[in-house]
């Protein structure tokens, strides 16, 4: 990687980390205060807090990098981002259901994507004050402490987080894989994976760029893999923002589980 690119990645990482903290503070001003909420066309919830954080992040980030594209869950996509070398990929509140229920398991997720891959990531969990960051070749951290994917080498005894309908299947149980619960924020589920607190993460099909881009880089920089059930890495900021079913974890677990999971999903 050219030095200039590495410097740009680190500068972008610092920018989005600061923005994530600011967005988190705004979200906290609504948290557990019964914000106005409604349901979007896809039956997912949204609140006035989501939109307030989205506006704030757009103002901060687009002012700092006016030539970058913009892709956010809460902003209408005009596809102009496809003409930009770099784009912000944003989920102002990932885990809105958790946020609205008063759970601490929600995050502000921001990535910078170039040529289809994240080159800077920031994920902030305001309730716990955990800030996860990553840049290619510089590792992944949480509040400055390095993250490392699980070093488990056997599926027997491995923990897997994801939808209960999948992680509790008899075939996985018979292999010794144990369910690790469900985290409302998909981005946070993958950050926990990057931190080595769980061994595997399963993701249903149709997750979107903003759910995945920041944590994808966290997982990769922590030494893990996040890929589809054919073993392909994800590509972002394309025409379609949706992805197939995914599996994340260390190579030693992902490789043997992937074909099995492909039969079950």
* pLDDT score for 3: 55
Measured between alpha carbons, how far is 109 from 132 in angstroms, rounded to an integer? 9
Residue numbers of the domain that contains 129: 3-146
Measured between alpha carbons, how far is 56 from 88 in angstroms, rounded to an integer? 14
Instruction: Take residue 89 and report the two structure tokens written for it.
Output: 């990929």
Residues of the chain with pLDDT under 50: 1
Same-domain check for residues 66 and 167: no
DSSP state string for 213-248: HHHHHHHHHTT-EEEETTSPBP--SSS--B---EEE
HSE-up of residue 81 (Cα within 13 Å, Cβ side): 27
* pLDDT score for 2: 52
* pLDDT score for 78: 86
Same-domain check for residues 129 and 202: no
154 is a domain residue: no
Same-domain check for residues 141 and 182: no
Domain edge (last residue) among 114, 146, 178:
146
Same-domain check for residues 43 and 112: yes
Same-domain check for residues 56 and 186: no
Same-domain check for residues 7 and 38: yes
| Predicted structure pTM score | 0.96
Number of domains in the chain: 2
Distances (CA, A) of 147 to 52, 72, 135, 193, 224: 31, 26, 12, 9, 10
* pLDDT score for 51: 98
């Amino acid at each position: 990687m050219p030095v200039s690119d590495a410097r740009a990645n680190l500068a972008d990482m610092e920018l989005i980390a600061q923005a994530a903290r600011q967005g988190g503070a705004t979200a906290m001003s609504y948290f557990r205060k019964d914000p106005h909420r409604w349901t979007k066309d896809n039956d997912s919830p949204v609140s006035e807090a989501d939109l307030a954080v989205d506006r704030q992040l757009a103002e901060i980030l687009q002012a700092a990098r006016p030539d970058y594209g913009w892709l956010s869950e809460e902003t209408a996509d005009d596809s102009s981002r496809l003409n930009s070398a770099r784009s912000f990929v944003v989920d102002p509140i990932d885990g809105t259901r958790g946020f609205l229920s008063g759970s601490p398991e929600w995050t502000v997720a921001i990535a910078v994507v170039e040529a289809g891959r994240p080159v800077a990531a920031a994920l902030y969990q305001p309730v716990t004050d955990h800030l996860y960051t990553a840049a290619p070749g510089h590792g992944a951290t949480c509040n400055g402490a390095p993250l490392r994917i699980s070093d488990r080498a056997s599926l027997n005894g491995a923990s897997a987080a994801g939808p209960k309908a999948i992680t509790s299947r008899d075939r996985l149980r018979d292999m010794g894989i144990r369910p690790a619960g469900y985290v409302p924020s998909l981005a946070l589920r993958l950050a926990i994976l990057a931190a080595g607190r769980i061994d595997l993460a399963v993701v249903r099909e149709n997750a979107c760029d903003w759910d995945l881009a920041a944590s994808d880089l966290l997982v990769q920089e922590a030494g893990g893999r996040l890929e589809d059930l054919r073993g392909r890495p994800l590509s972002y900021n394309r025409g379609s923002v949706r992805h197939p079913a995914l599996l994340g974890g260390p190579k030693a677990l992902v490789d043997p589980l992937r074909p099995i999971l492909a039969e079950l999903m």
